[in-house]
Structure 1
């Protein structure tokens, strides 16, 4: 048997039986940049290795209370070496919104990577979704500016 053929067959078999989650864990989900040339990328595995927060909340876009888990958004921004007062968050569809450091402190955003114990799928506003504990802020109403900051399908943060 030809060695090249044997190697091709082995690679195909290994690929076919490897769990897809291995590949998903190593795919870059989030990129953090600033205007000084700094760039840091995060995979799902890297995000899950950070200290995790959990919140149980209703949102205007989901039914009933759900449990969300992920790192604090401030933990991600702590990686930026040059400090900041404002940053812009981007979704997969290039929707973006500016968030101030003051709002970051006030609302204690989390970067949700799990909903009810499962990875958030793209079609369910994932894989990354900026959220707040809505139950702490009953004054928030539909149309409030804060809702624009809760970007789903987040893939990029740019320090301004």
Structure 2
């Protein structure tokens, strides 16, 4: 019997457990915590929540798009991780996100939005970090110009700026 014939199969069976256990960890933030995610999540790094600093968010794949908004004149460029990637990093499962801002503004975002649209958790606007007075440090931004339906109060109201936490329900 030629064991080399079965080597690829044996390796394929050995890799998933290693990958799965590595995926279950979420590093702890080293810098100032800018986002807390709680509720229906499987990966936590600070008690019952997942805490992120800017470096952790910057470590996720980054996206950029330019879009018109009701808050800024002309095209504005936003950059940051896709909200779906942030949620995947914490193993989020649910039907609804409650976004909470620094001023305690709250808005509900259906989970469907993050898979249907390329919603960004913006950490930069026009290639610069966003201070609190500029709607930062985190801003949930939809690609409003990509679809007519996104240019409405419904989606503008889901675009929480000065985001501090997400609750997964």
Scaled by the length of structure 2, what TM-score is found?
A: 0.73
Does structure 1 residue 28 correspond to structure 2 residue 33? Answer: yes
- Structure 1 residues 107 and 82 mapped into 2: Cα distance closer, same or farther (>3 Å)? closer
Per-residue Cα deviation, 1:55-74 (whole angstroms, up to 9, x for no partner): 11111100111211100001
Unaligned 5+ residue runs, structure 1? 1-24
Mapping of 1:84-123 within 5 angstroms? 84-123=94-133
Q: Unpaired runs of 5+ in structure 2?
A: 1-29, 42-46
Moved over 6 A (4+): none
Counterpart residue number, 2:134: 124
Aligned partners of 2:83 and 2:121 also within 8 Å: yes
Verify: 1:51 aligned to 2:61, yes or no. Answer: yes
Deviation, structure 1 residue 38: 3.5
Q: Please give the secondary structure, in 1, of the residue aligned with 2:113.
A: helix
Alpha-carbon offset, residue 87 of structure 1: 1.4
Q: Distance in 2 between matches of 1:99 and 1:92?
A: 17
Distance 2:90 2:31 in 1: 22
Within 2, Cα distance between the matches of 1:89 and 1:99? 7
Question: What is the DSSP-based 3-state SS (H/G/I as helix, E as strand, rest coil) of the residue aligned with 1:78?
Answer: helix
Aligned equivalents of 2:107, 2:76: Cα separation in 1: 25
CA shift for structure 1 position 96: 0.7
Q: CA deviation at 1:54?
A: 0.4
Deviations 1:96-135 (A, max 9, x none): 1111111222222100000111101111111000001111
Whole-angstrom CA distance in 1 between matches of 2:100 and 2:92: 20
Post-superposition offset of 1:141: 4.5
- Residue 57 to residue 102, structure 1, CA distance change in 2 (3 Å): same
Out of 123, 141, 146, the residue aligned to residue 136 of structure 1 is: 146
8 Å CA contact 2:82–2:120 kept in 1: the answer is yes
